[in-house]
């Protein structure tokens, strides 16, 4: 069961959402196993909404349903490496999933709707990442109608099966019924992933009743339709066939993902390796990530032996949870100040161990999880400022947050009055920065930083391996500013105070545009284009106003649209 950290509230914004869960607490999903095939069945508890005020009828979902889905996808990758195919199906008769719950959306404030869509987008991207990089292929077995977000969930799968019973369809009815867009990548996946012709996609997305049967196959909306009499057997055959193609090791033994040790108060969120201090007066969060406490194991067997306690995995789980917590529960804390502390050599040694054992399934999964978590940081609508000080370990994988930051400051020298004998602040470019952790645009953060400037990129990459003092890092363009200890406090203070004084809406637009440099991909379209348009549409009266489509849905009355095209 997904829980709230406070008493039930009347609106989502009044409750603190907790993202930690595990299968024994699920209310909406069932996970079963048959050798290399897992079946993930969506059977939503109608009365199990995250907050009161709506019923989750027809396998519709809210954030609580998707929190469980995200947890299940993670556990399949780490706890069940023997699984090669995941069948995603519905547990209700004649319905796969009706999509996001409309009454929940209509009653939610704007920020809740936007964050909800962002998280569900990331979860679906994780499903695609498992198929592409982990040998766990997802099949959507749509046992009934898949509508809106339900069809978007199916679109995240590699293969879509639809029951052929003359009534089941796939549809994206958001535009004709609700005056909004499909919120979790539906338009992009229809065109860019399934290659549905533009004119057909246009027609499909304006027909609330959807399309089924042979036409859905011809239009590439699904891969096959199957008579109900042959449904169960055909699903088993497809799952077995995809499992045969997987490179996933058949004899692998998974590792457990125990509950995170987390302390949450009104002004602090603390884990073992990640700590966040919430300063409500300054609208900031001071985030510190600690490096490894121990040397890296000698080989991959040590990674398996430490399991969830292996530093990179433990730190990544904590950072992932923190980002989700702050993004959802602390929308007014708009500036995140990023620090690290620890031994840079140990960070680089842990990185090297993972990369040297890239063919080991667990090492591979940890790197992929690190990649997804830093991507989550990239698409978070918060200002990111990295502070590189003596004692920092911005090296290799932990250099990525500094490269993701909107600005970075590296101290030139040391704090003379604090510790004049300390080693000067340094950063280190490592192999993790040169390919294994790409952004959503498919480029490394270094390549994004120096997009269109190959000479600077080559110079930065050539500096890998050794610590770089502030003057060298600034010269190479790896940090924004390198003040000395006389100017440090004032420059950092001004940067943070200025940031918190700007319009949050304008900052969100500014940051998203600069972060998505370079080629457009499915992910950048979803987070850079779709999210921006949906954000705007959600806030318009045609959708969310008193006479908007979201509020009129189900009343029998038509929405009153402002007909001006903008």
Q: Within its chain, how far is the Cα of 500 from the centroid?
A: 25
Distance between CA atoms of 32 and 64, rounded to whole angstroms?
20
Distance between CA atoms of 27 and 49, rounded to whole angstroms?
10
Here the tokens at position 336 are 């995140």
* Catalytic residue list contains 286: no
Residue 296: other Cβ atoms inside 10 A? 22
Q: Which of 152, 389, 400, 523 is catalytic?
A: 152
Q: Which of 18, 82, 158, 174 is catalytic?
A: 174
Residue (of 331, 380, 323, 320) closest to 515 by Cα position? 380
Rg (CA), the chain: 24
> Can you name the residues that pair with 274 across neighbouring β-strands?
289
Secondary structure string (H, E, C) spanning 440-489 = CCCCCHHHHHCCCCHHHHHHHHHCCCCCECHHHHHHCCCCCECCCHHHHH
What's 4's DSSP letter?
Answer: B
Residue (of 394, 471, 468) closest to 432 by Cα position? 394
* Catalytic residue list contains 14: no
Distance between CA atoms of 152 and 185, rounded to whole angstroms?
7
C-beta of residue 103 within 8 angstroms of C-beta of residue 550: no
Distance between CA atoms of 58 and 77, rounded to whole angstroms?
28
The residues that are catalytic are: 152, 174
């Amino acid at each position: 069961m997904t829980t709230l950290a406070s008493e039930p509230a009347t609106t989502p914004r009044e409750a603190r959402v907790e993202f930690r869960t595990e299968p024994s607490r699920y209310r909406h999903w069932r996970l079963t196993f048959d050798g290399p095939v897992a079946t993930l069945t969506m059977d939503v508890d109608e009365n199990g909404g995250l907050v009161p005020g709506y019923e989750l009828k027809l396998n519709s979902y809210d954030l609580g349903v998707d929190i469980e889905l995200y947890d299940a996808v993670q556990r399949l990758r780490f706890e069940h490496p023997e699984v090669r195919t995941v069948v995603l199906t519905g547990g209700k008769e004649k319905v796969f999933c009706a999509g996001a719950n409309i009454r929940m959306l209509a009653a939610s404030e704007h920020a809740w709707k936007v964050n909800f869509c962002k998280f569900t987008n990331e979860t679906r991207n994780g499903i695609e990442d498992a198929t592409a990089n982990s040998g766990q292929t997802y099949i959507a077995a749509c046992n009934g109608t898949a509508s809106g977000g339900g069809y978007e969930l199916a679109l995240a799968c590699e293969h879509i099966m639809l029951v052929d019973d003359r009534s089941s369809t796939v549809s994206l009815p958001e535009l004709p019924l609700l005056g909004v867009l499909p919120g979790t990548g539906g338009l992009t996946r229809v065109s860019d992933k399934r290659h549905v012709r533009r004119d057909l996609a246009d027609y499909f997305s304006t027909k609330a009743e959807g399309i089924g049967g042979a036409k859905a196959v011809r239009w590439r909306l699904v891969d096959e339709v199957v008579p109900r009499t042959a449904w169960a057997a055909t699903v088993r055959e497809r799952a077995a066939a995809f499992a045969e193609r997987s490179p996933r090791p058949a004899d692998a033994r998974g590792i457990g993902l125990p509950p995170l040790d987390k302390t949450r108060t009104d002004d602090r969120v603390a884990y073992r390796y990640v700590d966040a201090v919430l300063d409500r007066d300054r609208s900031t969060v001071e985030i510190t990530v600690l490096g490894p406490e121990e040397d890296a194991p000698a080989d991959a067997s040590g990674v398996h032996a430490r399991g969830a306690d292996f530093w990179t995995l433990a730190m990544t789980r904590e950072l992932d949870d923190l980002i989700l917590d702050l993004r959802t529960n602390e929308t007014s804390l708009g500036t995140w100040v990023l620090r690290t502390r620890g031994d840079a050599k140990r960070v680089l040694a842990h990185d090297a161990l993972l990369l040297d054992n890239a063919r080991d399934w667990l090492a591979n999964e940890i790197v992929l999880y690190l990649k997804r978590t830093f991507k989550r940081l990239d698409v978070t609508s918060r200002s990111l400022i990295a502070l590189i000080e003596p004692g920092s370990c911005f090296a290799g994988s932990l250099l990525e947050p500094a490269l993701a930051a909107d600005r970075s400051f590296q101290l030139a020298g040391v704090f003379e009055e604090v510790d004049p004998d300390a080693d000067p602040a340094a950063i280190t470019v490592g192999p993790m920065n040169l390919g294994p952790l790409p952004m959503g645009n498919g480029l490394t953060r270094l390549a994004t930083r120096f997009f269109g400037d190959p000479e600077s990129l080559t110079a930065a990459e050539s500096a890998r391996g050794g610590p770089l003092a502030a003057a060298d890092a600034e010269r190479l363009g790896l940090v924004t500013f390198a003040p000395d200890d006389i100017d440090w406090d004032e420059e950092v203070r001004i940067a943070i105070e200025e940031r918190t004084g700007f319009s949050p809406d304008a900052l969100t637009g500014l940051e998203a545009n600069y972060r998505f440099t370079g080629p457009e991909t499915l992910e950048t379209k979803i987070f850079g284009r779709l999210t921006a348009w949906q954000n705007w549409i959600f806030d318009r009266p045609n959708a969310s106003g008193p006479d908007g489509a979201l509020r009129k849905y189900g009343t029998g009355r038509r929405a009153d649209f402002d007909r001006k095209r903008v």
